[in-house]
Amino acid sequence: MPILTPDERIFCAIDTTNLEQAVELAQELKGAVGGFKLGKEFFTANGPGGVAKISELGQRIFLDLKFHDIPNTVAGAIKAARSLNCYMLTIHASGGAAMVRAAVEAKGEEEEPRILAVTILTSLTADDLVQLGQKLPVADQVLRLGKLAHESGADGLVASPQEVAALRAARGEDCLLVVPGIRPAWASTDDQKRIMTPGDAVKAGADFLVIGRPITQSKDPKVAAKLITDEIADALIR
């Protein structure tokens, strides 16, 4: 993994069904962030053609479709995704070791797309997990699924700010950690509850930060991205 510049660490989440708006925003932010995260909302509305439109701008694409199915089906989806020129994409660790291995094999020898596994969705509480029959505390279950996915060949994990330091300690340097739930001190928290500032997240061990509304809803998205880049740079030299 080459050393990342502070702006390269930012993936701006483009959560909209409106392709025109998405392209406009991506054009505006080109060069100010490392890439764009496109998820189910954007993909369901705009499909591979929409991904290509954003990708044409030359920035890295993080395709966050969180694949979770039988190994053969996930392998097929990853093979199909190879033509989309994505830098990284997501699967669910809870699909099991065979599913993660199938995803990694389907990617082939190429470095991209890097396969990231989602452990426990941060929207799930400890009570939700008990209801699902999982008795371990959330933090332990995250480490368990992180180990399973990483040892099955995943390039990295998506982690909440609360988990990033423990995952970095447990999984070592050779595991990409991608972290949403980031809020600069000057931004609104929106519906995010367990948040961390960009500076603290990189200090805790995050490689990439997924940041949406603090940039996209800002009066000047480019200025917001620059403020965040400066905060990351500052945190890395301390």
Residue where the block lists tokens 């993080």: 62
CA distances from 230 to 9, 78, 85, 115 (A): 12, 35, 29, 28
Q: Applying CB under 6 A, what is the total number of residues that bind ligand C5P?
A: 13
Cβ-proximal residues to 91 (8 Å cutoff; 6+ apart), any chain: 66, 67, 68, 74, 78, 99, 100, 103, 115, 116, 117, 118, 154
* Catalytic residue list contains 66: yes
Of the residues 30, 53, 66, 147, which is catalytic? 66
Site string for ligand C5P, 160-199 (x = CB under 6 A): x-------------------xx--------x-x-------
Check binding of 212 to ligand C5P (CB under 6 A): yes
DSSP 8-state assignment for residue 131: H
Coil, strand or helix: which one is 115? strand
Please pick, from the candidates 13, 78, 104, 175, the single residue that binds ligand C5P as defined by CB under 6 A: 13
- Whole-number Å distance between alpha carbons of 8 and 5: 5
Which residue number has the CB closest to ligand C5P?
212
Q: Residue 145 or 210: which CB sits closer to ligand C5P?
A: 210
Q: Which helix (H) or strand (E) segment is 21 a member of?
A: helix 19-29
Check binding of 122 to ligand C5P (CB under 6 A): yes
Q: Residue 113 or 161: which CB sits closer to ligand C5P?
A: 161
* Closest separation in Å from C-beta 33 to ligand C5P: 12
Residue numbers at the binding site for ligand C5P (CB under 6 A):
13, 15, 39, 122, 160, 180-181, 190, 192, 210-213
> Catalytic residue positions?
66
